[in-house]
Amino acid sequence: MESKTLYIGLAVVAIGLLVVGIAIFTSGDDLLERPEVMSDQEQATNESDVIDETLREDHDDGATPVTPSVNWDEWDEVLRKYEKSDLPFNRDESDDTVIYWHQREIDGAIVEFDYINYQFDKDTKELKKKIIHWRDDLPEHLPPIITKEEAESIVGGEVQFSKLYIISPKSHVVQIKPTPENPCWVVRSIDKNGNIIITIIDAVEGKMLGYGVPPPFTGFSLSGPMNTTNCSGVWTDHYQNAESWFNTMGYPTDAVVYPNEVKVKSHIQSHETAMFYELAHGGSDYFENDCIGAITANEIGSWIEDYPKMPFTFVGSCGGMCEIDTGTFSYEFRKGSIESTVGIKADMLRNMW
């Protein structure tokens, strides 16, 4: 792959709501969220041979499990004070916020970029923010459409999954102009050379409209030691959670405990790694990747100089994005850009050790 391009919208929402306690610095939008995936066990077997199982087993006893800390029945009552519809809402929590969100669908077709999001103060139960993206030019119901199987029969190669979408005019994945008005089957397949192909099928007329922009290929998730003095402990739930969701979105992920400098550098100097997650002691300009040293933001800047900026970076070290200027992880991973790149920081680390 000549360059790394990541289109993040719904993908970032997934991570932001399921990897607890994060704050978005800047982001784009995306259509392709992988809806059909293998089980976690199958993913681990097929895609994670690179994991250092010995280190994982030796240090898992130091991990801190993540458990819900709110009474969801009570919070559902809070939501009902503001949301009078019977729409289904997903829910999650961060350190100081309870989050509800609804993804719009019409007769099973996902409406790209259309959603409702509520954010409540966890202590006071006051509404902090309500976000609505909702197109008013769409029908209440879909016209007759071809089946998923009929759409897949049009596509060559090995089909991985298919999903029905109503494409947004602002879509980055489907850049066909004019924007299709009919619902479309978005089919992801692998050709004989191993390339990811995204095919767009008009679900009403049953014809191929063109191709979408496939996501990049891989992710990287690491945990440094919880106790650097004794070289022990791993944030297992967190780095494995990132691994699981990166895999779910279609990015086979290298998940490693205490990676050495060579391992980290190999993912920075890469045209394939596009999702980078680190959880370790440190700050905005260094993190302790293993028990013998640390990796600095200046090193990242040097390593990435001749490579594309990192499309997605989660900086989990303490205060990891409190500073975002030159010489910080935020700046160096983004190479100073705010286009087609995103930096995310942890917002609840005081509860993690």
Residue 319 C-beta-side C-alpha neighbours within 13 Å: 8
Contact call for residues 70 and 241 (beta carbons, < 8 A): no
| Confidence band, pLDDT 50/70/90 cuts, at residue 183 | very high
Rounded distance between C-alpha atoms, residue 91 and residue 98, angstroms: 7
- φ, ψ dihedrals at 317, nearest 5°: -70, 155
Rounded distance between C-alpha atoms, residue 60 and residue 164, angstroms: 40
Residue 293 in tokens: 């040293």
Secondary structure of residue 232 in the 3-state scheme: strand
| Confidence band, pLDDT 50/70/90 cuts, at residue 124 | very high
| Confidence band, pLDDT 50/70/90 cuts, at residue 31 | low
Mean pLDDT highest for which of 37-46, 98-107, 189-198, 315-324? 98-107
> What tens digit of pLDDT does each residue of 251-285 get?
889 999 999 999 999 999 987 788 999 999 999 89
pTM over 0.95: no
Radius of gyration of the chain (CA): 21
Mean pLDDT highest for which of 55-69, 108-122, 159-173? 108-122
Q: What one-character DSSP code corresponds to residue 351?
A: G
Q: What is the pLDDT of residue 96?
A: 86
Q: Give Dmax (Cα) for the chain.
A: 65
Strands 97-106 and 109-121 come out as antiparallel
Secondary structure of residue 20 in the 3-state scheme: coil
> What tens digit of pLDDT does each residue of 296-329 get?
999 999 999 988 889 899 998 888 878 888 999 9
**Scanning the structure block, which residue is given the tokens 């995204």?**
198
pLDDT of 61 strictly over 80: no
Q: What is the pLDDT of residue 254?
A: 93
Contacts of 327 (CB under 8 A, 6+ apart): 285, 297, 298, 301
Q: What is the pLDDT of residue 16?
A: 41
Rounded distance between C-alpha atoms, residue 240 and residue 53, angstroms: 12
pLDDT of 42 strictly over 80: no
The β-bridge partners of 279 are 223
> What tens digit of pLDDT does each residue of 86-120 get?
999 999 887 789 999 999 999 999 999 999 999 99
Average pLDDT over the chain, rounded to whole? 80
Q: What is the pLDDT of residue 347?
A: 53
Q: What is the pLDDT of residue 33?
A: 43
Q: What is the pLDDT of residue 156?
A: 83
Q: What is the pLDDT of residue 166?
A: 98
Q: What is the pLDDT of residue 164?
A: 97
Q: What is the pLDDT of residue 216?
A: 63
Residue 121 in tokens: 């103060």
CATH number for domain 9-65+216-351, candidates 3.40.190, 3.30.70, 3.40.50, 3.30.479: 3.40.50
Share of the chain above pLDDT 70, in %: 78
Closest CA to 30 of 106, 112, 96: 112
Sign of torsion over alpha carbons 302, 5, 311, 259: negative
Rounded distance between C-alpha atoms, residue 66 and residue 314, angstroms: 18
Rounded distance between C-alpha atoms, residue 146 and residue 161, angstroms: 16
Domain ranges of the chain: 9-65+216-351, 72-133, 148-212
143-180 burial code (b ≥16 CB/10 A, e <16) = eebbebeebbeebebebebbbbbbbbeebbbbeeeeeb
Q: What is the pLDDT of residue 12?
A: 42
Q: Is 238 left (phi over 0), alpha (psi -120 to 50) or beta?
A: alpha
Q: What is the pLDDT of residue 188?
A: 87
Higher pLDDT, 239 or 21: 239
Burial of 282 (0-12, 13-18, 19+ CB in 10 A): buried
